[in-house]
Structure 1
Amino acid sequence: MEMDVHDELLAAVLFIVFTMFTLWVFRKLWAVRKRKTINDTSSKSGHYWSPIEQNEQQHNYCSGCKQHVVSGYECDNCLLKVDNINCLRAISTKIHCKVNQTLCRKETFDHHWICGNIGADLFCEVCEELCGGGVGLQDFRCSWCWRVVHTKCKPKFTLSCDFGRLQRTIIPPYCVTTRKPGNRNQRMMLIKSPFQAVIDKIEIPTDIEKWRPIMVIVNPKSGSGAGKQLLRNFRAHLHPAQVVDVLKSNISASLRWIDEHPEVDVRILIAGGDGTICSALDQIDTLSRRIPVAVLPLGTGNDLSRWLKWGKKCGGDIDVIKLMEDIQEAEVTLVDRWTIDAESQKKLGVRLQSNKTLSMTNYVSVGVDACVTLGMQNTRESIPRAMSSRLLNKFLFFTFGTKDVFERVCKGLNERIDLYLDDVHINLPDIEGLIFLNIPYWGAGVKPWATYNASHRQECDDETIEVFAVTSSFHIAQMQIGLASPLCIGQAKHAKLVFKGNHSFPMQSDGEAWVNSAGTVLISHKCKTAMLRKAEKQSTGCGMFF
């Protein structure tokens, strides 16, 4: 059978696409293996090398050959830059990383100076003139306190490092001993990579007043690449043992030292979407004491972050020093957390679906709201990670919301469920969605309970949950632009949903959606978690009038 011209052209195109895809996969695998080999060979120096991103290559110079960096590597911890493997190996024997604990002594803790690659908008600590800029390696920056000095001014500057504005936040390397996870007998005198060590022992530094370290938990996949950039940014500013990568480290193991050292006052920052925050809070709740937690918004909705005043979104180039100062000054507020027990009914002695138990901080819903989230979630999982973004997530929400306006798959939800609030059966109006709300914000910034605050005041620590309903996805869209209000159902200390018939129901909790079979869902109070709300700074002088 002979192929016509169109078939031959199609076969050629498919062959080219397959070949390019194979080469792309091979290149990615080779890059991972190459990076691992590089970090194994330079582990004695403490450096952890990552490829320099394309947008980072402007005006950077190699610390080895002093040439302009075209394609090279950067240490995540001290930001030392090289342009090839030979320079990397040579510089690793000459310049140790800031986390090399064999060189860290309290009595003689000096600045860890890195030459060159300094931003052109920084000022010298000695002469107060601009540093950096220009061509080639010039001037110095300390990897711990982030102060910069001119080359000619460096001899005039103090030798000892006090960690600068990060003094209260950072864990001094001479006060901490790290170890490999799961091996308490093998302490590490240096960190081979930031995610291969957890804190084993820690001492309170006597030379720092009001010391309160901050542990940082980051999901590098969140925020359309912002999470990865944030992870490297935090490692560069703090002790790498303070920064937990949720993809490569066990959160519980990384925080175990907090229970073993109750004398240390500590705070935690979680950077990620709603799913990351909920998962991390589950681990934090297992600690023997309440640790105040701040959140950094890297998801799509970010309703918890909005309420705690940390913003509605965040990029990877955030000012880490300013953020750490804000967390130190933040106010502690208690927030209820709830347990969701979804029990599937049995048929012929066999459950239709395995039971599901999870925690909720923001809200849990059934119906049209969860249906839109489920459609977006399934579509997002089928899209390559490189193409995912917060803008794409919002577009998917809009697409599936518009689709449901015409399909209305959750129409008549009130006839298929029974709702009990504090064991009292509630007659529901004609609705398509039911939401159990724990915080003031929902649906990426909507405040659904604001209309009813006068008669049914909402508090986030009163062990009471607010329940409201929506009539359609179009109703949700109207609420998001302020043209409609939700249907108030009531408040309760605990709630129960009974799904009738043989239908499956879309549900979601804190942005994570699933399909729940017929059965019973119980919502009960779990605990109170200490959260950090960003303090509002009062304006003074003439600025308060503008």
Structure 2
Amino acid sequence: MSYLEMMNFKRIYHRFEIVQTPQNVKCFVCGMSCNGKNVLKCKDCNKYCHEFCQESVVSNCYSKNIRDDNKHSFEPSYSGGNCVVCGKSGGTIFRCIWCSLFVHNTCQPKLLNCCRQLMLKSDQRTHYFINEGKGICVVCKKEICQEDGNSFHCIYCKKSVHEKCCSDDLERKCDCGKLGRYLIHPCEVIFKNRYILKGPLEHPIFFIINELSGGKRSKEVISLLGSYFHPMQFIKIEELTIKGSTVSQNNDWYSKEKKPIIVICGGDGSVESCLDQFGPFVTYLLLPYGTGNDLSLSLGYNPSTTLAEFEASPISLLMKRVNDHRTQIDRWKVTKATYPGDSTFFDFRHFTNYLSIGIDAAVAQSFSEKREIGPCGRFINKCKYAMSVTALLDDSCKNIHNKIIVEVDGEEIDLPPMDCLIFQTTLTCYGGQTLWNNPVGFKEQRMDDGMLEIMYIRNIAELGSVSIGVSTPTPLAQGKEIIVTLKPNFVLPLQTDGEPFLLQNSVLHFYCESHNTFVSSH
């Protein structure tokens, strides 16, 4: 393997010819003035260099006819940067979200359209250099200036080097900086009908993206973090259950002794999809931007400020979160049988925050239907949620005490008049409201004790006051094994962690199935 291949450069060679030197032309390699006879010019990209600098040329030729399957993904840049084609700043400039390369809109047709490699045949991690180095050159230890000619920086370790210093003095192996243990390097990927990982990694991070949550906020996450991690580390939530996706059908990409970190980008509903896929063998970190974020609030993370903090310093905040405290949270399994007459229970669903029956679930059902018409931002989604209260005009979701039977740890409990019944395991609900408040006569609420707190809301007016924190539901019981029977001829709205559904003629049995590790600020 050649030196340049070891450095992870994809070579597209210049076609140089000796030319007469025009005035005020500088060598793009060393940055010095091009005077004299021994001057070369590329036929394709029109760049000049000294003949004695030709052996030091590392940068690719940007010609019109060169294309590659692994293409850039550009977005408008407001932070500035020098165009990789013409070397100038200013004007309308775009940045690739995967490799941080800058280019003018007018220069894009001349750009070598190959982004960083997804796979590399190498037995060690190497640098991936892109144009425009910053700071100190790691070889000559001098500050990099525009007058010095071309320079590069590695997108993994962030080290910079002059083009004229790209020699055997440059360390070939890349330590990948402070992200080293968390990222996937192209040398750790192979292709067998699809891109897969070679084997267990130390502590890989995967970002699970829910594009329906919070409108277009998912694009902000990729924009902020895409250039730091391998594209394989960003997975759409709908791909989790698709055979052939990055993680599906590929269980050897992590070691259970060294838990990988799953960053869940979305709301509470996104958490359940990830728990279904990965189970208790990973560590979960929440990057909340959905409408319902009670789990993140229970863990001490405010969704209103999280993305703003990430925009200011994405990697620093991510590393701080990664090193935060770990806490265990119960996950509850719900099985279902048909009532009456069938004693066979089948797996139905899970929940981590809460399960509720009645008027709040009816509102959630109406909102879910509105949201699927077109995803919007958190504020618009909250407005849609408020407008969904028209669902409460339907009496079928009221007086649920006459429509269900509840058994807690083997004993049937008396149900007072109510329009909503809540079974909760986490600390907050309804957008950060504390519902339980550790009432006298009950055990202290914990998220890892295998016990549910059971409470009820009497009517619509009380639901409104509970939702804004003016009042709290009435405590009813605590228990480790719950059976809820829906009496015949009633169709009732239910929800688990904000995901609503309708049910009738059923018996539900739920119990604590597992404990999952979450990152928490508490």
Residue of 116, 128, 152 corresponding to 1:97: 116
> Which residue of 2 is the match for residue 223 of structure 1?
214
> Aligned partners of 2:196 and 2:157: how far apart in 1?
23
* Larger Rg belongs to: 2
Please state how far the C-alpha of 1:452 moved relative to its aligned partner: 2.1
CA distance in 1, matches of 2:98, 2:436: 45
Which residue in 2 is equivalent to 1:146?
A: 158
CA distance in 1, matches of 2:497, 2:256: 33
Matched, 1:444 2:470: no
Are the counterparts in 1 of residues 429 and 435 from structure 2 also a CA contact under 8 Å? yes
Q: Distance between the aligned counterparts of 1:245 and 1:521, measured in 2?
A: 31
Q: Within 5 A, what are the aligned runs for 1:245-394?
A: 245-248=236-239, 250=241, 254-255=246-247, 257-259=250-252, 262=255, 265-268=258-261, 269-285=263-279, 290-313=281-304, 314-315=306-307, 317=311, 319-345=313-339, 357-382=348-373, 384-385=374-375, 388-394=376-382
Distance in 2 between residues matched to 1:150 and 1:481, nearest whole Å: 59
Query: For the residues of structure 2 that align with 1:218 and 1:264, how far apart are their CA atoms?
Result: 25
1:107-146 equivalences under 5 Å are 111-116=127-132, 140-146=152-158
Please say which of residues 485-494 and 454-463 is displaced more in the overlay. Answer: 454-463
2:35: which partner in 1?
none
Greater helix proportion: 1
The answer to whether structure 1 residue 177 and structure 2 residue 189 are counterparts is: yes
Q: For residues 394 and 90 of structure 1, do their structure 2 counterparts lie closer, same or farther at Cα, with a shift above 3 Å needed? A: closer
Q: Aligned letter for 1:42?
A: D
CA apart distance, 1:330 = 2.7
Indicate how the Cα distance of structure 1 residues 234 and 221 shifts in structure 2: closer, same or farther if over 3 A, else same: farther
One-letter identity of the residue aligned with 2:129 = W
Q: Say whether residues 1:419 and 2:406 are aligned partners.
A: yes
Instruction: Give the Cα–Cα distance (whole angstroms) in 2 for the partners of residues 79 and 145 of structure 1.
Output: 14
CA contact (8 A) 1:219 1:228 kept: no
Partners of 1:306 and 1:495 in 2: how far apart?
26
1:78 corresponding residue in structure 2: 99
Shift of 1:281: 0.5
SS of the residue corresponding to residue 469 of structure 2 reads coil
> Given the superposition, is the C-alpha separation of residues 405 and 130 from structure 1 closer, same or farther in structure 2, using an over 3 Å criterion?
farther
The one-letter amino acid paired with 1:91 is: L
User: Separation in 1 of the partners of 2:178 and 2:285?
Assistant: 19
Residues 181-231 of structure 1 show CA distances to partners (whole Å, capped at 9, x for unaligned) of xxxxx27xxxxxxxx6332x1366xxxxxx533232222332221112213
Deviation at 1:148, TM superposition (A): 6.0
Aligned to 2:181: 168
Cα distance change, pair 72–341 in 1 and its aligned pair in 2 (3 A): farther
**Equivalences, count:** 447
Query: Once the two structures are superposed, what CA deviation does each residue of 1:446-496 show, in whole Å capped at 9, x if it has no partner?
Result: 111124277321122222111111122332332233321211010111112
> RMSD in angstroms over aligned alpha carbons?
4.0
Q: Percent identity between the aligned chains?
A: 24
Equivalent residues in 2 for 1:412-491 (5 A)?
412-452=399-439, 455-491=442-478
User: Structure 1, residues 126-148: CA drift from partner, whole Å, max 9, x if none?
Assistant: 8999999x9xx986542112356
Aligned runs of 1:493-504 on 2, under 5 Å?
Answer: 493-504=480-491
Q: Aligned AA for 2:183?
A: I
TM-score (norm 1): 0.70
Q: Give 3-state SS (helix, strand or coil) of 1:452's partner.
A: coil
In structure 2, the CA distance between the partners of 1:87 and 1:162, relative to structure 1 (3 Å rule), is same
Equivalent position of 1:543 in the other structure: none
Q: Look up the match of 1:42.
A: 68
Could you list the per-position Cα deviations for residues 259-308 of structure 1 after superposition, in whole angstroms to 9, with x for gaps in the alignment? 465376232222222222101111112xxx72222222121121111122
| Aligned mates of 1:130, 1:392 — CA distance in 2 | 48
Closer, same or farther in 2 for the Cα pair 1:266/1:500, shift >3 Å? Answer: closer
> Quick check: 1:468–1:488 contact (8 Å CA) kept in 2?
yes
Q: TM-score, normalising length from structure 2?
A: 0.73
Cα deviation code 1:323-343 (max 9, x no counterpart):
442244233322211112344
Q: Corresponding residue for 1:182?
A: none
The 8 Å contact of residues 137 and 143 in structure 2, kept in 1 or not, is answered as no
Q: 1:167 to 1:421 in 2, by over 3 A?
A: same
